[in-house]
């Protein structure tokens, strides 16, 4: 029996109450869908560039595996969850006990904040940055410390350390960052891990790592550091709606996360994730495709004089010089849906990199709106 299984009913009750409070805003795992990115049922010919999805969808190997798994859907097949964890560990040089499968990466993101933050243990993040951790922090009455990115759009780790103070619970680094698509140098992340206060963790969200040339941080898990590294199959693997992901960390850290939920995982998503990991060439091919589309679009935008953040990911921020929500509404009227603005950057909107054909439609609509 693992440590988390032996937890007392009283302690589990407290943790379950915290989780219930987090879910009350409903559901906390993807609150942005209702508030910011969700567009209802768009026209059939709409271009969706609003949620950092991969328009290529699952690879052929994943589609085959998931189709076969549907016929077995009458049973739980817990072994599929363990198979995904073992496969990820094997391919990434980790031990199986250092990896836990989840339904995407938002779930373990929230669990980490719930486990390590509280009224006297702040949650520290870059700004602008992905907001999900803030909602979990609010649920456990933890202070949220938002630290502006550097002039190079990296996380300012020294300012984050100062903002967190000696009792910080979680330092959250999304790398490449959402929404800017920019990277924080590995040396800066290592400095954050080295200088953080005892008892805290560095939560490294690598949802978009495959689109960049940055060195991943899984070796920090191997080294036994106080980190949680998140991966998802929603982005480069094109499985956003199928919900599969993993968290990598020391076993004692993963044990703390397990106490915050007991939901079963879909065997379809698990099978698709395992097949995606085994598929040959998928990451490299898709990385190259996104890069070519992105850089071609950036060249066009420079020629038009538009101001944007030079992303290395599958999304970017563009300055529309007026309230971003107004522009998003005008784009939607032209059947092109772009992402949201952040309160700290109200004149910027986030745009997902779609297919070549989709970005041509984006150019036409964007030029009309900006003109």
Per-residue pLDDT of the chain (371 residues; tens, 9 = 90+): 443 333 333 433 444 444 444 444 444 444 544 344 555 688 899 999 999 999 999 999 999 999 999 999 999 999 999 999 999 999 999 999 999 999 999 999 999 999 999 999 999 999 999 999 999 999 999 999 999 999 999 999 999 999 999 999 999 999 999 999 999 999 999 999 999 999 999 999 999 999 999 999 999 999 999 999 999 999 999 999 999 999 999 999 999 999 998 778 999 999 999 999 999 999 999 999 999 999 999 999 999 999 999 999 999 999 999 999 999 999 999 999 999 999 999 999 999 999 999 999 999 999 999 99
Where is the domain boundary, 278, 308, 331?
278
3-state helix vs strand vs coil in the chain, percent to 5: 45, 15, 40
Q: Are residues 80 and 92 in the same domain?
A: yes
Query: Would you say 202 and 249 are in contact if contact means Cβ atoms under 8 Å apart?
Result: no
Residue 27 parent element (H or E): none
Same domain, 113 and 48: no
Same domain as 315, residue 243: no
78 with 128, same domain: the answer is: yes
- Separation of alpha carbons 225 and 220, rounded Å: 6
Cα separation, 55 vs 22, in Å, equals 31
Question: Are 109 and 223 within one domain?
Answer: yes
pTM for this entry:
0.90
Residues 318 and 195 in one domain: no
Which domain CATH number covers 43? 3.90.1150.10
Q: Are strands 144-148 and 123-127 parallel, antiparallel or unpaired?
A: parallel
Alpha helices in 201-334 (DSSP H): 218-222, 251-258, 267-278, 282-304, 324-332
| Domain limits for position 247 | 71-278
Instruction: Collapse the DSSP code of 100 into the 3-class scheme (helix H, G, I; strand E, B; otherwise coil) and give the result.
Output: strand
Number of domains in the chain: 2
CATH number for the domain harbouring residue 224: 3.40.640.10
Domain boundary among 250, 278, 306: 278
């Amino acid at each position: 029996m693992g440590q988390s299984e032996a937890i007392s009913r009283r302690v589990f009750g407290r943790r379950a109450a915290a989780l219930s409070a987090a879910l009350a805003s409903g559901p906390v795992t993807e609150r942005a869908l209702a508030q910011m990115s969700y567009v209802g049922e768009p026209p059939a010919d709409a271009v969706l560039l609003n949620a950092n999805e991969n328009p290529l969808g699952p690879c052929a190997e994943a589609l085959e595996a998931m189709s076969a798994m549907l016929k077995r859907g009458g049973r739980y097949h817990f072994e599929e969850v363990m198979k995904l964890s073992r496969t990820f560990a094997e391919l990434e040089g980790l031990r199986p006990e250092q990896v836990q499968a989840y339904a995407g990466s938002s779930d373990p993101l929230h669990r980490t904040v719930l486990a390590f933050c509280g009224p006297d243990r702040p949650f520290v993040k870059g700004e602008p940055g992905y907001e999900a951790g803030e909602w979990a922090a609010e649920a456990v009455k933890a202070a949220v410390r938002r630290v502006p990115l550097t002039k190079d759009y990296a996380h300012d780790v020294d300012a984050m350390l100062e903002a967190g103070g000696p009792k910080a619970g979680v330092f959250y680094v999304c790398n490449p960052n959402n929404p800017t698509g920019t990277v924080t140098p590995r040396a800066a992340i290592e400095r954050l891990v080295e200088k953080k206060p005892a008892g805290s963790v560095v939560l490294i969200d690598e949802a978009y790592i495959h689109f960049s040339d940055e060195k991943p941080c899984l070796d920090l898990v191997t080294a036994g550091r106080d980190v949680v590294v998140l991966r998802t199959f929603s982005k480069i693997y094109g499985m956003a709606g199928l919900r599969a992901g993993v968290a990598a960390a020391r076993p004692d850290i993963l044990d703390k996360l397990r106490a915050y939920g007991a939901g079963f995982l879909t065997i379809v998503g698990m099978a698709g994730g395992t097949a995606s990991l085994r598929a040959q060439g998928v990451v490299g091919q898709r990385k190259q495709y996104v890069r070519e589309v992105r850089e071609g679009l950036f060249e066009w935008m420079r020629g038009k004089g538009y101001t944007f953040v030079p992303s290395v990911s599958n999304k970017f921020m563009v300055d529309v010089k007026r309230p971003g929500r107004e522009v998003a509404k005008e784009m939607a009227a032209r059947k092109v849906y772009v992402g949201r603005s952040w309160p700290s950057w109200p004149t910027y909107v986030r745009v997902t990199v779609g297919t070549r054909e989709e970005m041509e439609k984006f150019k036409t609509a964007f030029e009309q709106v900006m003109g």
